[in-house]
A and B are shown apart, each in its own frame.
Chain A
Amino acid sequence: MNVILSFIQAHLELTYVVILSIFLGVEVISRVPSVLHTPLMSGANAIHGVVIIGAIIVMGQAEADNYLALILGFLAVILGTLNVVGGFVVTDRMLEMFKSKKTK
């Protein structure tokens, strides 16, 4: 119990951010029409690509002699970028198709 309390105390802001974000995420998309489910999923997929920032930090902090960190970090940066770039581009194409269907 003490451990949890001290953790919350040490990360008070982050804890608030987590809780508010949970509610926000629910609120923001709770009235999405079902045609938009797949594009929204794809968009959300691109957004969790923020994990790339962690990959960049890992890569940037790796010591020059720590090959494991260098190689894995490099791989993480590539995969993360794939997630971000691919995610946004695919979402855009989906929505593009969506629009052209509508105007027909």
Chain B
Amino acid sequence: MLSLIYLTGSVTFIVGLKMLSNPATARRGNAVAAAGMTLAILGTIFLYEHNGRHLRNYGWITAGLLIGGVIGFLSAKRVKMTAMPEMVSLFNGMGGACAALISVVEFNHMIRAFSGGVEIDHLQLLIVFAGLIIGAVSFAGSVIAWGKLNGNIKDITFGGQHIFNISLLAVMLILSVYVIAAQPPFTGILFALILLLSLVYGVFFVLPIGGADMPVVISLLNSFTGVAAACGGFLYNNPVMLTGGILVGSAGSILTILMCKAMNRSLKNVLIGSFGGTHGGG
């Protein structure tokens, strides 16, 4: 039954996206996707089973859904029309943070299981790390993009920023590979360090990019979050998370490129263009 619900959910996402790309049906497409999402959430709450056990902590889940739902609904209803892109960015960041938190909890589970004598599945650990890093980068980047759009954060560039960013990314990846390959006793600390570095990277990734290019960056971060959500899909063998996430990941990437084209820029130009020229970086 739950598989059927997930299948329906995946189909509504595809149909919804398709309808969203046509002016005549866009609004209905949004409603279709929303309906599919509601179905998938309700199905998960009431029907999900793992090793024959239903979910627990219904009180917490309901409270979380209520709090998030009310805040989300009200802030989305009240936001001014001109402030909508920054709102989208903020919501995108929430999704990224959600994906990162899932990874944190799953990592915690794995470490607990490991100290109880269960072998760690390296590939699963890889997915946990991918979800953590992508989610955290997306969260930090989106919050910065949000701050930039409402004018609270200025463009900041400094010499060698490009090299700084790349080395930051390299350190993160090397650390992750190290933690995944070996199982050192300091895993927890390293894990926290990687989380921290991912957040820092997200900040520095978006900081130098000009305000006018923000929609492109938000779209890019949007597809990042999609991939982070898909990592969750792999983790729980959950088809609707996987299709939804990957669909947004690929559609988001194409959309990013289309948006660049509409502005007569290339993606490379948007992302690293700010390092040369007037700002005198790099």
**How far is it, in angstroms, between the C-alpha of A38 and the C-alpha of B23 when the chains are bound?**
12
Residue of B nearest to A35 (CB): B23
Judge whether A79 and B55 touch: CB under 8 Å: no
A66-96 interface bits toward B, Cβ cutoff 8 Å, 1 = contact, 0 = none: 1011101111111111111111111111111
Residue of B nearest to A73 (CB): B105
Residue in contact with B97 in the complex, picked from A33, A38, A61, A79, CB distance below 8 Å: A79
Judge whether B76 and A85 touch: CB under 8 Å: yes
B202 at the interface (CB under 8 A from A): no
Judge whether B262 and A34 touch: CB under 8 Å: yes
**How far is it, in angstroms, between the C-alpha of A10 and the C-alpha of B73 when the chains are bound?**
40
CB proximity of B47 to chain A, nearest CB, Å: 11
CB proximity of B142 to chain A, nearest CB, Å: 10
Judge whether B244 and A17 touch: CB under 8 Å: no
CB proximity of B86 to chain A, nearest CB, Å: 10
B190-234 interface bits toward A, Cβ cutoff 8 Å, 1 = contact, 0 = none: 000000000000000000000000010011001101101110111
Collect the chain B residues with CB atoms within 8 Å of residue A55's CB: 64, 98, 101-102
Residue in contact with A21 in the complex, picked from B16, B68, B81, B250, CB distance below 8 Å: B250
Residue of B nearest to A94 (CB): B84
Judge whether B258 and A93 touch: CB under 8 Å: no
Judge whether B75 and A74 touch: CB under 8 Å: no
Judge whether B234 and A14 touch: CB under 8 Å: yes
Judge whether A48 and B27 touch: CB under 8 Å: no
Collect the chain A residues with CB atoms within 8 Å of residue B18's CB: 28-29
Task: Tally chain B residues at the interface, Cβ within 8 Å.
Answer: 103
User: Known: A33-B23, A83-B95. Contact between A59 and B68, CB under 8 A?
Assistant: no
Collect the chain A residues with CB atoms within 8 Å of residue B106's CB: 58
A104 at the interface (CB under 8 A from B): no
Judge whether A68 and B108 touch: CB under 8 Å: yes
List residues 234-249 of chain B with CB under 8 A from any CB of chain A.
234-249
Collect the chain B residues with CB atoms within 8 Å of residue A97's CB: 81
Collect the chain A residues with CB atoms within 8 Å of residue B226's CB: 44, 47-48
Q: Please classify how large the interface on chain A is, using the bins under 10, 10 to 19, 20 to 34, 35 or more.
A: 35 or more
Collect the chain B residues with CB atoms within 8 Å of residue A33's CB: 23
CB proximity of A84 to chain B, nearest CB, Å: 6
Judge whether B63 and A29 touch: CB under 8 Å: no
B13 at the interface (CB under 8 A from A): yes
Judge whether A98 and B88 touch: CB under 8 Å: no
Judge whether A51 and B245 touch: CB under 8 Å: yes
**How far is it, in angstroms, between the C-alpha of A64 and the C-alpha of B236 when the chains are bound?**
21
List residues 4-49 of chain B with CB under 8 A from any CB of chain A.
9, 13-14, 16-18, 20-23, 26-27, 29-31, 33-34, 37, 40-41, 44-45, 48
Residue in contact with A59 in the complex, picked from B9, B61, B122, B241, CB distance below 8 Å: B61
Judge whether A84 and B61 touch: CB under 8 Å: no
Residue in contact with B251 in the complex, picked from A28, A64, A82, CB distance below 8 Å: A28
Collect the chain B residues with CB atoms within 8 Å of residue A7's CB: 123
User: 25 A–B contact pairs at CB < 8 A?
Assistant: A22-B246, A25-B249, A25-B252, A29-B17, A35-B23, A38-B215, A43-B29, A45-B91, A47-B37, A48-B229, A48-B248, A49-B37, A50-B241, A51-B95, A51-B232, A53-B236, A56-B45, A58-B106, A59-B60, A60-B61, A73-B57, A73-B101, A79-B101, A83-B92, A83-B94
